[in-house]
């Protein structure tokens, strides 16, 4: 069932408390506004989606987005808005899409200082075994940044992957960082 979200000031809100949560149930898309951590995938609540989730669902024709004016939002407009909030949005989105297309559940990794947290089954079902940080090939990454991320991922018992998108071929390469003691 195709959902409708309203875009307002950097947020995509699904107001339908009956059908909106179906996106969470089928693929852990979004999060409920009224429930902190759902204990079950069956609930009633308004839903909020990230830019990554909104674009992915839009491209898969599972979501229509309306601007506050009531006009239908285009893919180009969504990307333009995302770029106001997220540096290198398209590179990060390409990694998000690749992971989702591999059947993984992808959530924000902000609390760990990385781009994404990746689950095999989903939040509340398993713990995220991977942290994925998207690195831009044209930018330098310091050894100190790698050490910090590697140490953190080791302490929280998650594998750290660095993802890089080739600017020409758009091919994504993943590098696993292993922490040795």
> 163 is written with which tokens?
């993802």
Known catalytic residue at 119? yes
**CA atoms lying within 13 Å on the CB side of residue 7:** 25
Known catalytic residue at 11? no
Choosing from 31, 92, 107, 158, the catalytic residue is: 158
Burial of 159 (0-12, 13-18, 19+ CB in 10 A): middle
Tell me the pairing of strands 47-49 and 172-177. unpaired
Query: Do residues 14 and 29 touch, judged by C-beta distance below 8 A?
Result: no
Choosing from 127, 171, 174, 175, the catalytic residue is: 127
- CA 58-64-66 angle, to 5 degrees, is 125
- Catalytic residue set: 119, 127, 158
């Amino acid at each position: 069932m195709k959902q409708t979200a309203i875009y307002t000031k950097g947020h995509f809100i699904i107001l339908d408390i009956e059908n909106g949560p179906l996106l969470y149930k089928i693929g852990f898309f979004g999060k409920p506004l009224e429930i902190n951590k759902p204990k079950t995938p069956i609930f009633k609540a308004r839903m909020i989606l990230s830019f990554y989730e909104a674009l992915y669902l839009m491209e898969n024709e599972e979501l229509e987005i309306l601007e506050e004016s009531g006009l239908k939002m285009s893919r180009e407009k969504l990307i333009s808005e995302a770029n106001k909030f997220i540096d290198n949005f398209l590179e990060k989105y390409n990694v998000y899409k690749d992971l989702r297309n591999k059947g993984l559940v992808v959530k924000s990794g902000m609390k760990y200082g990385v781009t994404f947290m990746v689950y095999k089954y989903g939040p509340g079902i398993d713990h995220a075994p991977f942290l994925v940080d998207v690195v831009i090939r044209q930018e330098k990454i310091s050894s100190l940044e790698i050490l910090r991320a590697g140490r953190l991922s080791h302490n929280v018992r998650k594998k750290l992957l660095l993802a890089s998108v080739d600017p020409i071929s758009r091919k994504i390469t993943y590098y696993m960082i292993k922490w040795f003691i």
